[in-house]
Amino acid sequence: METLSVWQALIIALWIGAVMSRSFLGGATTTLRFTPMMTGLVCGIVMGDVANAMIVVAAIQLIYMGVFSPGGQMPSEPAIAAAVAVPVALLGNLDAEASIAIAVPVGLLGSYLYQFRFFLNTLVLKATDKYAAEANGAKLTFCIIGMPIIIAFLLFTPLMFVALYFGSPVIASIVNAAAGTLVFHVLSVIGNGLAAIGIAVTVYVIGRKEYIVFFLLAYFLCVMLKTLSIPMITYAIIGTVIAVIFVLAQNSKTE
């Protein structure tokens, strides 16, 4: 069974520390925290298998399509889930469905870790109030921006390193041992079901009843024309054309 090297585990762990700091590199890290795609790309680059890493993380992305973050708090942490599930899948040669079943519990554990990060940040508030009262701009900036970044790195990087370096090979070997068994079949079924739920939640939230017909049209066209192996970009162009025609028709009615 292959294992991650120290440097591979450390790079991925540092990436998660940067993403979970939220303030690091500006607001971009907030978006990176909410999606597993870039984390999967980083894992693929570090492990030298970008193609399979993106296949796995694309499946993981589906279950987080309907996840929202009111107040910045999420029920699961997609970046942490991908940081563990993608290396495990690559080490154990797992398919995407099985990796989803691994990502879900890891993401849930990551959400508790993020809540603990909130608690640690509250310890900085006393110093923040003190420097605000003193009108000390430099120290106030450090407490508001610098300290949360430092706390995020100190909290997430060591724990992610341990999970990746010591945990990933163990999880991969366990799942490999279960290949072809009922347990492995259950993992695959659960993975497929979670992806469908993610898509369904997204459609429910952003969908409007009068536009559901377009979703159904796209779905059945994709199923009926599957044998033609039409690339996704072609469907995107057709969808754009249909959307433009619909908008033009709507505008002509209002004129």
Tokens of 247: 């908008």
Output 223 or 255, whichever has higher pLDDT: 223
Residue found by looking up tokens 């680059």 in the block? 45
Amino acid in position 12: I
pLDDT 10s digits, 29-50: 677 787 888 899 999 999 988 9
Mean pLDDT of the chain, nearest integer: 79
pLDDT at residue 176 in the model? 64
pLDDT at residue 94 in the model? 78
Q: Which of 51-60, 135-144, 196-205, 222-231 is predicted with the least confidence, judged by mean pLDDT?
A: 196-205
CA distance 201 to 75: 14
Q: The pTM is what?
A: 0.71
For the stretch 42-45, contacts whose Cβ atoms lie closer than 8 Å and that sit 24 or more positions apart, written own/partner, are: 42/11, 42/12, 42/15, 43/12, 43/82, 43/83, 43/86, 43/87, 43/90, 44/86, 44/90
pLDDT 10s digits, 81-122: 899 989 988 888 877 777 777 887 888 888 888 888 888 888
What is the number of residues in the chain?
A: 255
Residue found by looking up tokens 């068994």 in the block? 181
Output 40 or 123, whichever has higher pLDDT: 40
**Residues 191 and 101: beta-carbon distance below 8 Å:** yes
pLDDT 10s digits, 161-185: 998 888 877 777 766 666 666 666 6
Closest CA to 178 of 94, 53, 57: 94
The yes-or-no verdict on residue 202 having pLDDT over 70 is no
Task: Count how many Cα atoms sit within 13 Å of the Cα of residue 147 in the half-sphere of its side chain.
Answer: 18
